[in-house]
Amino acid sequence: MDEAFGISEHAVNEVVVVTVTGEIDVATAPALRERLYAIIERGGSRVVVDLLAVTFIDSTALGVLIGALKRCREHGTSMHLVVAEARILKVFEITGLTDLFTFFPTLDEATRP
């Protein structure tokens, strides 16, 4: 059984880290959008979205991440994704989004000053 969807946030090296668990799909993506947009509105120089515990991601979730990236750019904030699971990264590759996002394989690398 897959882990339940969840979102949490904390700061590492003055970077806001948004940790997502479980499946991000049409049912859960709106909650992720709300949380990311609220974080971006608060300001800051960098947001890291930790997808290490994500078990599934669909096109709705990709749309949310693209929208959040656009909003980050409007606010002068950078957004990085942490993805280590090959099948999750493959979704970004198939859709041609690997050129749009900055990916890191570990949270430590993504939050380095």
Q: Which residue has the higher pLDDT, 2 or 86?
A: 86
Give the mean pLDDT of the chain. 95
Record the tokens describing residue 92, joined without a space. 């970004």
User: 89-93 contacts: CB < 8 A, separation 24 or more?
Assistant: 91/57, 91/62, 92/62
Alpha-carbon gap, residue 60 to 40, rounded angstroms: 19
pLDDT at 37 over 80: yes
Alpha-carbon gap, residue 113 to 68, rounded angstroms: 22
The mean pLDDT value for 2-15 works out to 90
Reported as a single tens digit per residue, the pLDDT across 38-63 is 999 999 899 999 999 999 999 999 99
The mean pLDDT value for 83-95 works out to 96
pLDDT at 96 over 50: yes
pLDDT at position 3: 73
- At residue 102, the 3 state secondary structure works out as strand
Query: pLDDT class for 1, splitting at 50, 70, 90?
Result: very low
Q: Which domains does the chain have, with CATH numbers?
A: 6-104 (3.30.750.24)
Record the tokens describing residue 106, joined without a space. 């570990």
Alpha-carbon gap, residue 98 to 26, rounded angstroms: 22
